[in-house]
Amino acid sequence: MAESISGGILVEGGYILISRRLFKNEIMDKPHLYLKLWIWMLFKANFKDHEKLQRGQLLTSIDEMREAMSYLVGYRKMRPTRDEIRSAYETFVKASMISTLKTTRGMIITILNYNKYQNIKNYEAHIEDLEGDLPKPTITPHYKGKKEGKNVKTPTEISNEISVLTDKLFSTDQGKELFSRTIAGISLTRKTKKLSPSVLFKILQDLSKYPEDRIIHGMKIYLQKGCSAQGKKENYLVGIIRNQKTESDQSEKSSGSFTLDEYYRRKQSDESSTQKKVVQKSQDYDDHNESFNETPNEILCN
């Protein structure tokens, strides 16, 4: 066994991190197979990029998962069926825990948010324990011109602000989960496959300029079009959101003058009424097939 610098015995085989949030996940309401398969995926996933697989990915197959999930009943080895394995990992897909990609060699499973949950620095208690040992920032040419005495936020402060701003932007768990998936995608545009807390906070600040429905609509487009696979970063996402027009954006806005508001309302109502008359007149023309001297264009001009 290897011995650590402090004289203790190192644990061989590495480790994975299990967040307490797992106990609130729907996986805990499923058969034991689901939890066992999830833990197995975490163990099998690459801890760092290796060959064609990225950090948080594993190459497997249904048969391999059946074998890994086998158990003994006396002297008999029992294996879950292919349908049971398929049902389990499809549940993970629906819960946005993994994504799958079939290949000629098997199935590539990507554990979403792997960088978030398998980085010990992202756990608040650990950050608080380390704060006293964190080195103070040194002055480099990059920071020249900044005022001395400027407040430097601690990792815990940034983490708290990220949490507060996320809760403020997204009113539902679905919205927060969609944001996590979007951030996981943006992380793939970096060489390190992860975002620093300061970058994440900057993204949240940029998104806070827009209403929630526009943000969610933009994130769905970003994910559906596979923008992260094309190397398109958070600026592209913000551009999508900025250019979207949602119902809340198209709602009536006050000019600050009751008279002007009333004028615009009447004008819009008259235009709508005129349009309905034109449509009805065109329909009557088609229904009765009468012979008019006027052309359709002339009708529209009446």
Q: Cα(38)–Cα(89) distance, rounded to whole angstroms? A: 8
CB atoms under 10 Å from CB of 32, counted, come to 9
Whether residue 276 has pLDDT greater than 70: no
What predicted TM-score, i.e. pTM, was given to this entire model?
A: 0.43
**Quick one: angle between helices 173-187 and 234-243, nearest 10?**
130
Q: What is the pLDDT at residue 9?
A: 63
Residues 129-140: pLDDT tens digits? 444 444 444 434
Whether residue 45 has pLDDT greater than 50: yes
Residues 48-99: pLDDT tens digits? 998 889 999 999 999 999 999 999 999 899 999 999 999 999 999 999 999 9
Q: Decide if 37 contacts 63 (C-beta within 8 A).
A: no
Q: Cα(140)–Cα(138) distance, rounded to whole angstroms? A: 6
